[in-house]
């Protein structure tokens, strides 16, 4: 399998924190070598506050995670405040167009997004929107596409399992970075055995490492690889 070109990484996810749960190891290992842009298509908070709009305190919690990612040199973030849980039934065309605009402007070498085999309808919708926006037409045909797994969501789709076919070896330091990224979203973290815990992140990294012959790893499904021109 060809080594993917990670020089320009476009991450397309539903909610703030999805990016670090699925791709925090990639961010940690590639921060000094890659240029990242991250799109968040939904706000990720409203179902927990009875359908109300996020208030300033809750948005501060979201922004704490964004500020932490800036420690890794990432400052290219774009927010589209669709209501959490709405992406599967809202009109997808505006989001298709936004993703296409970012692909055209950013010229990614790889797109990282959420998995179609996920328990959260927003995550499945983002996968579908991304695949439509990145159809292999013209320059987009050379873009590789990865999907990643999101703890407390992907593994809970019991009828269809996430099946990784590419693994990024991680150091213990990168696993710790990923834990710190998650912990910068304090509302998302609970005590183990809840998956979104330090031990949950470490356990998954060890399992994917064991699965791939490494001490630690982050796993992805290669949806589409670069093609020969």
Least confident span in 53-67, 80-94, 159-173: 53-67
* Confidence band for 229, pLDDT divided at 50, 70 and 90: very low
Greater model confidence, 187 or 43: 187
Distance between CA atoms of 151 and 128, rounded to whole angstroms? 20
Reply yes or no on whether the pLDDT at 107 is more than 60.
yes
Which candidate, 141, 40, 35, places its Cα nearest to that of 99?
40
Reply yes or no on whether the pLDDT at 128 is more than 50.
yes
The answer to whether residues 116 and 194 touch, using CB atoms and an 8 Å cutoff, is no
Which candidate, 101, 108, 147, 104, places its Cα nearest to that of 6?
108
Give residue limits of the domains in the chain.
Answer: 8-224
Task: State the pTM of this model.
Answer: 0.92
Least confident span in 60-64, 93-97, 102-106, 155-159: 60-64
- For the chain, what is the total number of helices (H) and then of strands (E)? 6, 7
User: What are 157-162's contacts with CB under 8 Å, separation 24+?
Assistant: 157/117, 157/118, 157/119, 160/117, 161/117, 162/115, 162/117, 162/118, 162/219, 162/221
| Dihedral sign computed on CA atoms, order 30, 22, 92, 94 | negative
pLDDT at 4: 84
Region 26-38: what's the mean pLDDT? 97
* Confidence band for 120, pLDDT divided at 50, 70 and 90: very high
CATH architecture of the region 8-224 = 3-Layer(aba) Sandwich (3.40)
* Confidence band for 85, pLDDT divided at 50, 70 and 90: confident
Q: Is 91 helix (H, G, I), strand (E, B) or coil?
A: coil
The answer to whether residues 19 and 126 touch, using CB atoms and an 8 Å cutoff, is no
Reply yes or no on whether the pLDDT at 143 is more than 80.
yes
Region 138-144: what's the mean pLDDT? 91
φ and ψ at residue 146, rounded to 5 degrees: -110, 145
Region 97-101: what's the mean pLDDT? 97
The answer to whether residues 98 and 80 touch, using CB atoms and an 8 Å cutoff, is yes
Alpha carbons within 13 A on the beta-carbon side of 199: 5
Share the mean pLDDT of the chain: 90
Reply yes or no on whether the pLDDT at 50 is more than 80.
no
**For the chain, what is the radius of gyration of the CA atoms?**
16
As a whole-number percent, the residues of the chain with pLDDT over 90 amount to: 78
Distance between CA atoms of 95 and 119, rounded to whole angstroms? 21
């Amino acid at each position: 399998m060809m080594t993917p070109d990670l020089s320009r990484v476009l991450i397309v996810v539903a909610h703030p924190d999805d990016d670090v749960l699925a791709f925090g190891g990639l961010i940690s290992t590639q921060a000094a070598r890659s240029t990242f842009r991250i799109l968040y298509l939904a706000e990720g908070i409203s179902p927990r506050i009875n359908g109300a709009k996020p208030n300033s305190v809750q948005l501060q919690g979201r922004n704490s995670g964004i500020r932490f990612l800036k420690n890794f040199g990432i400052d290219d973030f774009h927010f589209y405040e669709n209501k959490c849980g709405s992406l599967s039934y809202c009109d997808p065309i505006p989001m298709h167009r936004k993703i296409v605009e970012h692909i055209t402007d950013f010229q990614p070498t790889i797109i990282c997004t959420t998995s179609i085999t996920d328990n959260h309808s927003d995550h499945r919708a983002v996968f579908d929107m991304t695949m439509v926006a990145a159809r292999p037409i013209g320059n987009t045909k050379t873009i590789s596409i990865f999907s990643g797994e999101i703890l407390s969501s992907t593994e809970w789709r019991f009828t269809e399992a996430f099946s990784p076919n590419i693994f990024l070896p991680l150091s213990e330091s990168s696993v710790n970075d990923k834990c710190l990224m998650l912990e910068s979203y304090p509302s998302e973290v609970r005590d183990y055995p809840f998956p979104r815990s330090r031990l949950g992140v470490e356990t998954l990294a060890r399992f994917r490492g064991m699965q791939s012959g490494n001490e630690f790893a982050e796993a992805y499904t290669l949806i589409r690889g670069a093609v020969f021109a």
